Structures are given as structure tokens and as C-alpha cells.
């Protein structure tokens, strides 16, 4: 699979869980509103009846109101079970993310083959068989992790594995990142690669970055150039200067470091030194002097 194609696929994977959440929310909200409207209409009905036939309808009013209380108290539960019902008849396309009718075999949007599993199936507990509300991670009955949550984690892991496979393929000149994190990205900006990942704490992020710097140094990456910095490490391999930059590492988020990889020598050149600079100045001076001599025809 090409680098570009994999990047596109990764983006789609990320969208799938969002789409499930959105689709369920979209189904639940109108249902809840509808239920509330019906309840309000019933209150009005009962109030009219009370005016007309106060005494004999008292009992009916009372029972109607107690029923309403129950309806409101159970509104959330009703909405949840409604969401579950909807999701029993819903599949999500693994390719384009479109929610669709469970009876369909192929996605109406993109033609991809749809899975056997409905959205509700992925919320059935493997341990005790309870049908849970879609979107929950753990079984409401026994606390076991639900298949949907397991799949989400497996997808995230697969995506990170893809990123590291891309690293193997394109970045073998740099020591491989083995310092954890999740939700990894490797983006190619044409000769400039950005690698980022998320940690739970900024401490963990800083620690991981520190370890990677040490690994780079163990592998021969050094500070170099006229203005050496511990955030810019370089290594010359077969005449090409490989450069790892940590300068903007924590610029956006202290828990999400970003490291830049590119080729190119530092200012002054990879093997800049004060002696070399002086030597170069001398050479340039002599060159200039010779040119001037040439102009005047002297030897």
C-alpha cells in the first residue's frame, strides 16, 4: 500500500467511532423531544378534563400525573433503549463511515461490503450477554470491557503499528521510536517529516523525548554547525546530512510532542569549526586578491 493511501485510510479509521456516536445521538434526540412533547400534550388533556368534570376525574388525573412522572424519570432510559433499538438496525460502512440500514449488504454510498455485525452487536457483553447502550465502554451489568471498546483500542493499536511500519519503510536512517505514546502520526511534507504522538502526562512526554535524544546520540547524531543546540541533532551518512529537530517539540501541547526529520546541514555546515571558518575566510580573501591581480594583468 502506498504511503499516501495508508495516510488516507488512517484518517477514515479515526472517523468511524465518531460517526457511530453522531448517528446514535441523531437518532436519540428527536425521539426524546417527541416523548417530552407527548407528555406535555397529555398534561394539557388532563387539565381540561379536570375543569370539566372535576370530581369524578380526580382519580384519573392522579394516575395520569403519576404516569408522567415515571415517563420523565425514565426519559433517559427510554432514550438509551431507543438508541439500542436503532443500532440493532444499523451498520456503519468500514470504508466511508456512512451509517446505513442493517438489511443492506453493500454500502449505498461507496459500494463497499458491509460487515455482518450491527452497531448494537458490538455492545453485547461477551461475558454475560447483556445488550448495552451503544457508545458505552464497559458492561453495565458485569463491568467487562465491551467488544466495541476492544475494537476501538485494537484499531488505535493497528493505526500506531501502521505508522511504525511506515517508519521502517521510509526512516531507517533514524533510530526507531520505541518510547510509547499513542495516536501516532507520521506526516510527509515533501522532504520534511513530522512525527507526533500523545501521552497521558507531560512528564511522560518529556521523559520519552529525553530518551529518544539519548538514543539518537548513541547512534551518532550530534550537535553541529555554527550555532549548536541540544534541540538540533545531525548525522552525516554517505554525504547526506540527516537532521532531527526538537525545537518546536512541545509548542502545541505538552502531552503531545512533535519531532521533525529532514535532510540538510546546519548553518555554517555540518563540520563547522572556528579554525575552518578562519581557513575559509583566508581562502576567500586569497581568491579575491587573485581576481584583483588578474584584472591588472599581474602574475
Binding site for Zn ion (CB under 5 A): 93, 95-96, 98, 107, 109-110, 112, 125, 127-128, 130, 139, 141-142, 144
Question: What is the closest distance, in whole angstroms, from the C-beta atom of residue 112 to Zn ion in the complex?
Answer: 5
Element holding 87 (H helix, E strand)? helix 75-88
Question: What is the closest distance, in whole angstroms, from the C-beta atom of residue 197 to Zn ion in the complex?
Answer: 29
Question: What is the closest distance, in whole angstroms, from the C-beta atom of residue 187 to Zn ion in the complex?
Answer: 25
Instruction: Record the cell numbers describing residue 255, joined without a space.
Output: 502531552
The nearer residue to Zn ion, 144 or 236, going by C-beta atoms, is: 144
Question: What whole-number distance in Å separates Cα of residue 193 and Cα of residue 7?
Answer: 13
Distance between first and last Cα of the chain: 64
The nearer residue to Zn ion, 48 or 109, going by C-beta atoms, is: 109
Question: What whole-number distance in Å separates Cα of residue 180 and Cα of residue 215?
Answer: 14
Question: What whole-number distance in Å separates Cα of residue 197 and Cα of residue 105?
Answer: 37
Three-point CA angle 142, 24, 143, nearest 5°: 10
Question: What is the closest distance, in whole angstroms, from the C-beta atom of residue 145 to Zn ion in the complex?
Answer: 9
Question: What whole-number distance in Å separates Cα of residue 15 and Cα of residue 116?
Answer: 20
The nearer residue to Zn ion, 141 or 251, going by C-beta atoms, is: 141
* Nearest by Cα to 163 from 176, 150, 175: 176
Element holding 169 (H helix, E strand)? helix 147-170
Taking the mean position of all CA atoms in its chain, how far away is CA 47?
A: 53
For residue 140, give every residue at least 6 positions away whose Cβ sits within 8 Å of its Cβ, in sequence order, or none. Answer: 130, 132, 133
Question: What is the closest distance, in whole angstroms, from the C-beta atom of residue 139 to Zn ion in the complex?
Answer: 3
The nearer residue to Zn ion, 123 or 166, going by C-beta atoms, is: 123
In the block, residue with C-alpha cell 397529555: 42
The nearer residue to Zn ion, 54 or 128, going by C-beta atoms, is: 128
Question: What is the closest distance, in whole angstroms, from the C-beta atom of residue 114 to Zn ion in the complex?
Answer: 8
Question: What is the closest distance, in whole angstroms, from the C-beta atom of residue 190 to Zn ion in the complex?
Answer: 30
The nearer residue to Zn ion, 83 or 93, going by C-beta atoms, is: 93
Element holding 261 (H helix, E strand)? strand 258-263
Amino acid at each position: 500500500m502506498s504511503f499516501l493511501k495508508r495516510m488516507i485510510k488512517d484518517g477514515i479509521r479515526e472517523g468511524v467511532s465518531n460517526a457511530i456516536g453522531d448517528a446514535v445521538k441523531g437518532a436519540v434526540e428527536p425521539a426524546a423531544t417527541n416523548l417530552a412533547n407527548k407528555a406535555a400534550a397529555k398534561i394539557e388533556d388532563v387539565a381540561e378534563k379536570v375543569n370539566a368534570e372535576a370530581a369524578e376525574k380526580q382519580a384519573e388525573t392522579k394516575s395520569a400525573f403519576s404516569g408522567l412522572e415515571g415517563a420523565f424519570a425514565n426519559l433517559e432510559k427510554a432514550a438509551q433503549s431507543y438508541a439500542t433499538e436503532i443500532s440493532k438496525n444499523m451498520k456503519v460502512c468500514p470504508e466511508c463511515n456512512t451509517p446505513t440500514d442493517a438489511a443492506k449488504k453493500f454500502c449505498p454510498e461507496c459500494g463497499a461490503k458491509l460487515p455482518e455485525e450491527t452497531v448494537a452487536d458490538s455492545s453485547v457483553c461477551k461475558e454475560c450477554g447483556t445488550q448495552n447502550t451503544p457508545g458505552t465502554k464497559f458492561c453495565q451489568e458485569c463491568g467487562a470491557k465491551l467488544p466495541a471498546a476492544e475494537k476501538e483500542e485494537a484499531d488505535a493499536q493497528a493505526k500506531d503499528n501502521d505508522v511504525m511500519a511506515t517508519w521502517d519503510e521510509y526512516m531507517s536512517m533514524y533510530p526507531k521510536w520505541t518510547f510509547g505514546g499513542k495516536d501516532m502520526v507520521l506526516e510527509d511534507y515533501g522532504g520534511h517529516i513530522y512525527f507526533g504522538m500523545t501521552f497521558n502526562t507531560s512528564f511522560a512526554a518529556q521523559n520519552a523525548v529525553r530518551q529518544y535524544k539519548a538514543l539518537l546520540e548513541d547512534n551518532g547524531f550530534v550537535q553541529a554547525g555554527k550555532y549548536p543546540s541540544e534541540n538540533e541533532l545531525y548525522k552525516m551518512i554517505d554525504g547526506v546530512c540527516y537532521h532531527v529537530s526538537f525545537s518546536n517539540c512541545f509548542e502545541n501541547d505538552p502531552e503531545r510532542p512533535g519531532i521533525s526529520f529532514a535532510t540538510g546541514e546546519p548553518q555554517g555546515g555540518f563540520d563547522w569549526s572556528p579554525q575552518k571558518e578562519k581557513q575559509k575566510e583566508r581562502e576567500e580573501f586569497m581568491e579575491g586578491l587573485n581576481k584583483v591581480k588578474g584584472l591588472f594583468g599581474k602574475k
